[in-house]
Amino acid sequence: MTSARATPPPLRDPLLTITRHGLYLPQADLHLDARTAPGAVFVSHAHADHCSYASRILCTPETAALHHARRGHRASIDVPLDTPVRVADADITLLSAGHALGSAMLVARSAQGTVAYTGDYKLRPNPFTPPVRIPRCDVLVMECTFGEPRYRFPPDEDLIARLQHFVADTLAAGATPVVLAYALGKGQEALYHLTSAGFDVVLHGAIARMCEIHERLGYTFPGPGRWERYRRDEVGERVLLTIPATRKTGMVESLRTKRIVYLTGWAYHPGAFNIYKGCDLVLPLSDHADFEELVRTAKESGATRIYTVHGPPSFSHHLRSIGLDATHLAAHPQDAGQEDESSDCGPADQLGLAL
């Protein structure tokens, strides 16, 4: 039997190396989403498993604000989207990644060629990010979280309509709609689509804290619905939008009559029936690219070398089967020791619930 943890061959690419801290761009002297590293670390977005303990980070101003709230203040090189800057021997540009407020892809151009790193991303619209465009590059480093054909999501507008109908029907039946979504990204997208449909919402503190930072940065939530932070026993005839970790706590269980909807791309996981047992509805409303978007990204990037991270190795096999040069980097150090605090980026915490 072949071990899934067999040591991969060393990476030999002039534009990308792996140090003991993780992925590293030598021309820009930058680590990518490294937990810690000497020098500067590019932080693609402020989800817990991408935040860094490095002393200096490079990111968008929005990610810096969210990152400071989660990790405390640290020196940051703030680079707005679509604004080229010189970093070491490379010209760096950050592009919208559509994953959460401030999320960015990184494109580094140097005499050796152009490398692009997607971080977590989706091509579908996000009300808190500019539209996403696929970077053209020689080398593409891409996440492939949903890199299996089963993860083809319906159009977001259909899923949003189903969410709004579920909430309306639940309220009409005299019960409390409970919407489960992670604190940053999905929480704000869900709130946006609820308040704009006229629903009043109470928010778990972790989501409310991120929403307050959104508003401070000028990203507001549309009416006519209103939102406020949850206070015990004061949900009333409103929606409770909370984080998945509260599903089995008094906050949710003490509600007399309720119906629960869980928002996650893992709805299509083969173990979803067990993972989300007790939920009335699981909608694959995701902040990640689905299988089709991933394939499209790989093709349209024009990259002659593609490296995949954070997903199944089978995705790189698929890319090779359609004629692309793809390698899965299974040994990304960041893949070890995932944090569970509001990590939107993997199913590990969810799979641990019931499988």
Interaction site with Zn ion (CB under 5 A): 47, 120, 344-345
**Nearest to Zn ion of 47, 204 (CB atom):** 47
**Nearest to Zn ion of 34, 345 (CB atom):** 345
- Buried-state track 128-156, b at ≥16 Cβ within 10 A, e below 16: bbeebebbebbbbbbbbbbbbeebebeeb
Helices (H), 249-312: 250-253, 272-275, 291-300
The least distance separating Zn ion from the CB of residue 204, rounded to whole angstroms, comes to 18
**Nearest to Zn ion of 120, 189 (CB atom):** 120
The least distance separating Zn ion from the CB of residue 273, rounded to whole angstroms, comes to 25
**Nearest to Zn ion of 49, 138 (CB atom):** 49
The least distance separating Zn ion from the CB of residue 119, rounded to whole angstroms, comes to 8
The least distance separating Zn ion from the CB of residue 127, rounded to whole angstroms, comes to 17
The least distance separating Zn ion from the CB of residue 232, rounded to whole angstroms, comes to 30
> Which is nearest to 286 in space by CA: 299, 269, 307?
269
**Nearest to Zn ion of 177, 346 (CB atom):** 346
What kind and span of H or E run contains 63? helix 61-71
The least distance separating Zn ion from the CB of residue 225, rounded to whole angstroms, comes to 26
**Nearest to Zn ion of 96, 195 (CB atom):** 96
> Which is nearest to 76 in space by CA: 60, 89, 99?
60
Computed from CA positions of residues 92, 186, 57, 289, in that sequence, does the dihedral angle turn out positive or negative? negative
**Nearest to Zn ion of 135, 265 (CB atom):** 265
> Which is nearest to 346 in space by CA: 295, 287, 277, 283?
287
Report d(CA 150, CA 306) in Å as an integer: 22
Burial of 299 (0-12, 13-18, 19+ CB in 10 A): middle
- Buried-state track 68-105, b at ≥16 Cβ within 10 A, e below 16: bbbbeeeebeebebeeeeebeebebbbbbbbbbbbbbb
Report d(CA 117, CA 33) in Å as an integer: 10
